[in-house]
Chain A
Amino acid sequence: MPLLELFLTFLKIGAVSFGGGYAMIPLVTDEVIAHGWLTAEEILNFIAVSESTPGPIAINMATFVGASQGGILGAMLATLGVVLPSFVIILIIASVIKGLLKFAGVKAFLNGLRPVVVGLIVGTAITMFLSVILSLNTVYEQVTFDWKALVIFFVAAITHFVYKKITNKNVSPILLIIISALLGMLFYGVL
């Protein structure tokens, strides 16, 4: 039952996706790769699409993975799955137990998972960096250094910091994506 599997997987992801947008990425990446639904590279490509289209990244990813596996029905089920846990929890908080988050035990649980979520995001970024720059996915594979990717990585970083320094605002991810897309065409297509 691939459709049921889609629904249940995204239900699981929806239930533990504390910490918003980016915290979702490690969860989706793990589950989607483990199921063989998409490759790591396809996920990276899609994150860029997700950043450049409106709406929460979680919804975008669920819809995309669902559609790739089960068409429109798959997209609906995956999206329903990822939304349902937060919908039910918020409904419970809004209607019955307003003070749910004030219980010391709930607070302790949240305090415990918060550093883990941050660690997961940074860890995922590191594995992505190794994969993109060195083609290093596992130690059993050949390492090849891609200096072009490293240059693009640093251009994105420098643009981010310079923009922040000058305007005191965060640069839009879309702008960084456009710049790196142009550099990608230049480096891999022309040079």
Chain B
Amino acid sequence: MKKLKTLFALFFAMFKIGLFTFGGGYAMIAIIERELVERKKWIEHEEFLDVIAIAESTPGPLAINAATYIGYKIGGVLGSVFATLGVVLPSFTIIYLISLVFDKFLSLVWVQYAFRGIQACVAFLILSAGFKMLKKLKKNIFNVVFITLTIGCLVGFSLFAIDFSSIFYILIGGVVGLTVYLIGYIKSKKSKTVIDTRQESEKANGGEE
């Protein structure tokens, strides 16, 4: 009975977060913190920071990741299901209802004019989000080369109507990152063993003299 109560509390807390967070991801952090850390005290502030760090390094929306993690902490696997469902349900319902009338709405001529304006704005919104992330990135050769290559390929391929899914770019990036690391690792090991054997041979030489 108490367990059921916890599950519903989780569900409703997350439902509220899902319902009132516009602008996605980072806008949610402050609200999640106020609701779950300060008010409900379901999770310590320190651990909450860990959750954000984890959410940033794993795929998927931040809100979903945070909900799943906190739900698991409070109520196990069932808790994570309830929490995730809670955070998804508001947007699901709202967007589903919009999808039913969106085409009709868009067929109004004044709405079309408005959306022609909005399209220019959306291009700007995405560009500014990209630049914001660009500023946060470390400026090393690896990053600069990769960003330039990605932008060049993406724009070039799309202009020449070449089909190449963004999924591949991401996987290639990850694999190259891993390869560079492994090469560095093997090299450092090799040079270490070279030094080791040199020291040993020096020792052996010293012993002979």
Which residues of chain A have a CB within 8 Å of any CB of chain B? Answer: 12-22, 24-27, 29-31, 34, 41, 44-60, 63-64, 67-68, 72, 75-76, 79, 82-83, 85-87, 89-91, 93-95, 101, 104-105, 107-130, 132-133, 136-140, 148-150, 152-153, 156-157, 160, 172-174, 176-177, 179-185, 187-189
Bound complex: CA A44 to CA B119 (Å): 6
- Taking a contact as CB atoms under 8 Å apart, the answer to whether B173 and A156 are in contact is no
Bound complex: CA A89 to CA B161 (Å): 34
Q: A45-B118, A182-B117 are in contact. Are A119 and B146 (CB under 8 A)?
A: yes
Which residues of chain B have a CB within 8 Å of any CB of chain A? Answer: 18-26, 28, 53-65, 68-69, 72-73, 77, 80, 84, 87-88, 90-92, 94-96, 98-100, 102, 106, 109-110, 112-131, 133-134, 137, 142-144, 146-155, 158-161, 163, 165-167, 169-178, 180-182, 185
- Taking a contact as CB atoms under 8 Å apart, the answer to whether A112 and B177 are in contact is yes
| Residues from chain B with Cβ under 8 Å of A72 in the complex | 96
Bound complex: CA A184 to CA B87 (Å): 34
Residue of B22, B172, B182 with most partner-chain A CB within 10 A: B22
Tell me the dominant secondary structure on chain B's binding face: helix
Bound complex: CA A19 to CA B62 (Å): 9
Q: Which residue of B lies closest to A41 (CB)?
A: B119
A-B contact pairs, 30 of them (CB 8 A): A15-B59, A26-B166, A27-B165, A44-B118, A55-B87, A55-B90, A55-B94, A56-B61, A56-B91, A58-B61, A59-B92, A85-B60, A86-B60, A90-B72, A95-B72, A95-B77, A109-B178, A110-B177, A113-B173, A115-B146, A116-B174, A120-B150, A122-B127, A124-B154, A128-B119, A138-B160, A181-B114, A181-B115, A184-B115, A187-B116
Nearest CB in chain A: distance from B103 CB, A: 8
Cβ contact of B159, chosen from A59, A91, A136, A185, cutoff 8 A:
A136
Cβ contact of A22, chosen from B109, B113, B126, B147, cutoff 8 A:
B126
Tell me the dominant secondary structure on chain A's binding face: helix
- Taking a contact as CB atoms under 8 Å apart, the answer to whether B64 and A83 are in contact is yes
Bound complex: CA A110 to CA B131 (Å): 19
Cβ contact of B64, chosen from A67, A86, A105, A122, cutoff 8 A:
A86
- Taking a contact as CB atoms under 8 Å apart, the answer to whether B165 and A59 are in contact is no
Bound complex: CA A180 to CA B142 (Å): 38
- Taking a contact as CB atoms under 8 Å apart, the answer to whether B173 and A112 are in contact is yes
Q: Which residue of B lies closest to A160 (CB)?
A: B128
Q: Which residue of A lies closest to B181 (CB)?
A: A108
Nearest CB in chain A: distance from B24 CB, A: 4
- Taking a contact as CB atoms under 8 Å apart, the answer to whether A118 and B130 are in contact is yes
- Taking a contact as CB atoms under 8 Å apart, the answer to whether A116 and B173 are in contact is yes
Cβ contact of A60, chosen from B59, B69, B95, cutoff 8 A:
B95
| Residues from chain A with Cβ under 8 Å of B102 in the complex | 46, 49, 64
Q: Which residue of A lies closest to B161 (CB)?
A: A138
- Taking a contact as CB atoms under 8 Å apart, the answer to whether B120 and A45 are in contact is no
| Residues from chain A with Cβ under 8 Å of B118 in the complex | 44-45, 48, 177, 180-181, 184
| Residues from chain A with Cβ under 8 Å of B125 in the complex | 47, 51, 156, 173, 176
Residue of A49, A54, A104, A189 with most partner-chain B CB within 10 A: A54
